[in-house]
Amino acid sequence: MEIKAVIFDMDGLMLDTEKLLVKYWCEAANKLGFPMERKHALALRSFSRKFAIPKLKEWFGEDCEYMAIHDLRVKLMKEYTDVHGIEKKQGLDTLLDYLTTHGYRTAVATATNIERAEEYLKKIGVYDKFETIICGNMLENGKPCPDIYLYACERLGLEPSQCMALEDSPNGVKSASSAGCVTVMVPDLTQPEEEQLNAVYAVAPSLDKVIDVLERAKGE
């Protein structure tokens, strides 16, 4: 197996922000009168707006306004991160150093918008580590559709089979694996279930352990 590039998800994979997204999705929705629980917010992970809107209406009725909840969630989360900052996930720097040393190309494929992605990646000092950044608002069909990974591979000039995709959520795993990428799940808030285990090449407990997966892939 010849892996030439590694494509990273962002929230919950590189950034310890998924727990904040879950907290503030619930807080924003409840402030606006919609009884969102943790299970709902977990299901929204890596969902693009196109798929999140009907999901919210299914849960909370036709009068549920996605953008109102989204905008309040963004405001609440920004208030928190402006004070407390953003934490990077364990092993990120170690993995990025390894990829640089061994000549792997790198990209980001995130459901968030380009403004927030650039802001966060710069805040944790890794923005310049990536050759290209693909965001959900660049495409008609975001995660869990494969389009974002297919586009990332296209931008890299590589076949999906030459790219390892790192994801923490079920929707992200579905997107990467259906694109044909060699998918590795690095769990964050939830552990992989049977569907994810059947879709991934490997599960790594932290980003630095992805190095072992890459070394294994060299011999296959």
Q: How many domains does the chain have?
A: 2
Q: Are residues 93 and 193 in the same domain?
A: yes
Report the pLDDT value the prediction gives residue 45, as an integer from 0 to 100: 84
* CB contact at 8 A, 107 and 131: yes
pLDDT reading at 196 higher than 90: yes
Q: Are residues 108 and 186 in the same domain?
A: yes
Strand partners, 5: 105, 163
CA distance 187 to 12: 8
DSSP state of 129: G
Q: Is the peptide bond before 205 cis (omega within 30 degrees of 0)?
A: no
Report the pLDDT value the prediction gives residue 220, as an integer from 0 to 100: 78
Q: Are residues 74 and 120 in the same domain?
A: no
**Domain carrying residue 113:** 5-16+87-218
User: Which of 51, 84, 117 represents a domain boundary (last residue)?
Assistant: 84
Report the pLDDT value the prediction gives residue 91, as an integer from 0 to 100: 98
Report the pLDDT value the prediction gives residue 57, as an integer from 0 to 100: 96
Q: Are residues 180 and 114 in the same domain?
A: yes
DSSP state of 87: P
DSSP E strands in the chain: the ranges are: 5-8, 105-110, 132-135, 163-167, 182-185, 202-203
Cβ neighbours of residue 148 under 8 Å, at least 6 residues apart? Answer: 109, 111, 134, 136, 138, 139, 142, 175, 179
